[in-house]
Amino acid sequence: MNFIKFLFTKTFLRQLLFAVIGLVVISFFILMWLKSSTNHEQKIRVPSLAKMMLDDVDDKLSEMDLRFEILDSSNYNPDYPKYSVIEQIPKAGEYVKENRKIYITLNRSGYLFLTIPEVVGKTRRQAEPTLIAMGFKIGEITYRPYIAEDEVLELLHKGKKIAPGDELQKTEVIDLVLGDGSGNLRRDVEATKTNEQKNSKDGGE
């Protein structure tokens, strides 16, 4: 009973009030410290870096207390200058904190070189999707007397014969020479040999 009476004494109530006030003050200073140390509510709007060269990116982000890191790129966009920024993370317009790192991707100097796949001897239906899926474009389609209809006999690029294993830049145009199904095997073999001899002779000249 004496303890219960003590809870209602002025001495206890005064000590309790001081304790509550002290707790509030300590909590206030802790929150202020956390706010300042984590840059709470300090936001920087990410600028657009599209088509900017690396030196300009460095100057721009340094002024805004931001950093950047370059990501590897296998893409080439002909609408952007070579080695300029084509992608960025976070995107322009988003808000970040001070010293945040912006990840950028630079445009390549040109399209990648790709290896011509093994499509000679396959049908047009097999060859065209393979070449297109790799990034090449199909150009002129011509036919030559041959026993197998629509079989790929040759690949041409700008009038010159190319073979599987050769390399061309992505998006280059490849012409197809196909069999028309009207030839006979012996005549086709002789015609092929004649063409090869002619090409060899022309190359020697």
User: What does the block give as tokens for 126?
Assistant: 């097999």
Q: Give me the pLDDT at residue 6, please.
A: 57
Q: Give me the pLDDT at residue 201, please.
A: 55
CA distances from 65 to 38, 43, 84, 96, 101 (A): 15, 11, 21, 11, 10
Residue 98 · residue 42 · CB < 8 Å: yes
In 3D space, the residue among 162, 79, 151 whose CA is nearest the CA of residue 114 turns out to be: 162
Q: Give me the pLDDT at residue 38, please.
A: 55
Largest Cα span, the chain: 124
Contacts of 99 (CB under 8 A, 6+ apart): 65, 66, 67
Handedness of CA 141, 147, 151, 156 (dihedral sign): negative
Q: Domains in the chain, please, with CATH? A: 44-106 (3.30.10.20), 113-204 (3.30.10.20)
Q: Give me the pLDDT at residue 93, please.
A: 92
pTM of the model: 0.53
Residue 139 CA to residue 29 CA, distance in Å, equals 73
Q: Give me the pLDDT at residue 109, please.
A: 83
Q: Give me the pLDDT at residue 186, please.
A: 47
Q: What is the mean pLDDT of each run of 10 residues along the chain (205 residues)?
A: 62 74 81 64 87 94 93 84 93 92 92 92 95 95 94 95 93 95 60 58 53
Residue 122 CA to residue 150 CA, distance in Å, equals 8
